[in-house]
Structure 1
Amino acid sequence: MDVEEEASRILAELRAQADPVRAEGEKRYLKSDLAHIGVPVPALRKVALSAVKSAPTREELVALAVTLWDVTEEGRPVHEARMAAIEVLVKRVALLEPRDVELTERLVRDSASWVYVDQLAEKVVGALVVRNPDLAAVLDAWVADPYMWVRRTAMLALLAGVRAGDPDLDRIGRYGDALIGEREFFIRKALGWVLRELSKKDPEWVAAWVEPRVGTVSGVTLREAVRHLPPEVATRLKPASR
């Protein structure tokens, strides 16, 4: 693969589908300072994934993702290029190695929006951790990181194990206690999402974790956590929420 050529092709095809009205609307919705082309996600995904239809090498995949991520227009990163970078990493995540967690950290630290972080957290970082359990030690550091989006990544990365049927209950509990007092909406929501997904498979654990913390857990977290619990359990827990 000629990485520069593929990145240029992807950008050209995205720009050929540019919709300035959509770009402005998306920019406002995301409160974004990036340059926006205005391409719907399904179309963007189709263009991006065409570059990795034939499995690239790990080195080619990483180089393509970094090249796309670093694209700028008038000094600003390009939203669709960053989304394309994430799409190729998600599609070929099986090629990534434990050392690539450093790349994911760089991308998360470059991000300032859930639209990039959430995909990276679950489908790239989470997938790496599921395949390489020792990498969970990285999440232990991230959950205490000063940067809110890194903390959110640590929590959401646990979703991969939950969905795979092998939840890391110890870390879910510990991270939950570490983040339970957060004022950031996106952290509260992340904790709630993990508890919500876990409750689909282990409602007893979720109820047992939430109940002694109902005086501390935020309403945002609790609403998500009890969404799939048995009605009588959800009713018992809800009135005590803040």
Structure 2
Amino acid sequence: MSEAGDFIDAALQRESSWQRAEEAQARYGPELGSYGASVGAVRGTVRDALRRYRHLGHDDVTALSSELWAVPVFERRLAAVVLLQSSLALLDNSDLTRIEGFLRTARLRELADPLAIDVVGPLVARLDRQYRDRAEAVMGRWLRDPDEWLRRAAVLAPLRGLRSGDGDWDRFLRHAGTSLADRSGGTKGSSGSSPDGASGLVGEALSRVLAEARSPKQAGPERWF
């Protein structure tokens, strides 16, 4: 493990609470461990690490995020998300492949949603035209992927821009329709798609965007459900 990775992991374990760890384990299930550190402690630890290791460049940050994510412990994976949030200025469209891997294995709103809203969306928005076109092509692929978590991320990604009034509502609504299409080639509501279970993750994301970034020109949510 890298020196920065050791620093973060040790700090998170020092912030552990057996009670929080047990509660988290009950929520997350047996596939994801927990140290029982608070979200505030995770954010503070990453902030301290970035101050301590000021020399970290793009490759260092992305490698560290993968190092943290590789161990299935909630606080480590949340630290990877916070690290990327805090290092947006260093990221570029090539990092979407790494982030896609994180999204496919996140399986939790607490991890997947901030990756989509606070990392993917701002990353794509700050790219220049050439690289943004490449990133948008990746988003288009995510919208058609069988993995509902990846489709959910593509729906949530533009939320910050839409909230601020800088987003493209027409594109968002087109993408929303694509993301809700039945993976077997049918349409929403046909066999294999329902508002419950995994397919409901995408509809839930759409409802969140509509609720938090409402535009007077957008169609109502009944268009999609």
Range class of TM-score, shorter chain:
0.7 to 0.9
Deviation per CA, 1:147-191: give whole Å up to 9, x if none. Answer: 010000000001132134211222211122224525222211100
Q: Distance in 1 between matches of 2:62 and 2:143?
A: 25
Q: Which runs of 5+ in 2 are unaligned?
A: 181-187
CA 1:84–1:194: 2 relative to 1, 3 Å? same
Deviation per CA, 1:44-89: give whole Å up to 9, x if none. Answer: 1101221123362111111111111113xxxxx1111111111111
2:114 corresponds to 1:114? no
Once structures 1 and 2 are overlaid, which stretch shifts more, 182-191 or 13-22?
182-191
Q: Number of aligned pairs?
A: 203
Q: Distance in 2 between matches of 1:15 and 1:81?
A: 10
Q: TM-score, normalising length from structure 2?
A: 0.83
Deviation per CA, 1:185-236: give whole Å up to 9, x if none. Answer: 221110011112221xx2x212xx12xx73x543xxxxxxxxxxxxxxxxxx
Q: Distance in 2 between matches of 1:61 and 1:164?
A: 28
**What secondary structure sits across from 2:213 in the alignment?**
helix
In structure 2, the partner of 1:57 is 57
Q: Distance in 1 between matches of 2:67 and 2:27?
A: 26
Q: Distance in 2 between matches of 1:158 and 1:43?
A: 28
Q: Distance in 2 between matches of 1:176 and 1:13?
A: 40
Q: Which runs of 5+ in 1 are unaligned?
A: 72-76, 219-242
Q: Distance in 2 between matches of 1:110 and 1:66?
A: 12
Work out whether residues 22 and 39 of structure 1, in 8 Å CA contact, stay in contact via their aligned partners in 2: yes
Q: Distance in 2 between matches of 1:144 and 1:85?
A: 26
In structure 2, the partner of 1:152 is 152
Instruction: Indicate the structure (1 or 2) with the bigger Cα radius of gyration.
Output: 1
Q: Percent of aligned pairs with the same residue?
A: 33
In structure 2, the partner of 1:192 is 207
In structure 2, the partner of 1:33 is 31
* Alpha-carbon distance, 1:31 to partner: 4.0
Greater relative contact order (Cα 8 A, min sep 6): structure 1 or 2? 2
**What secondary structure sits across from 1:167 in the alignment?**
coil
Structure 1's consecutive aligned runs of 4 or more residues displaced over 6 angstroms after TM superposition are none
Alignment RMSD (CA, Å):
1.8
**What secondary structure sits across from 1:205 in the alignment?**
coil
In structure 1, the partner of 2:136 is 136
